[in-house]
Amino acid sequence: MWYFSWILGIGVALGFGIINVMWLEANDTFAREPLRADPHGSPPDTPADTPS
């Protein structure tokens, strides 16, 4: 009968993970800032591309 507790544990762990991801998505934790497009069509500068 040990397998019932094993299956229950896996189900609880999966449920916790799914609820955690849904909570993080609702709080915009995974949100990225949109990149601004250059009017000339070139990709935006990265910190490594700019001279110091």
pLDDT in tens, 6-49: 999 999 999 999 999 999 888 877 666 665 655 666 665 666 65
Prediction pTM value: 0.51
Spatial CA neighbour of 25 closest among 36, 35, 17: 17
Q: Cβ(11)–Cβ(19) under 8 Å? A: no
pLDDT at 28: 78
CA distance 42 to 52: 21
CA distance 20 to 37: 33
Left if phi > 0, otherwise alpha if psi is -120 to 50, otherwise beta: which for 36?
beta
DSSP state of 1: -
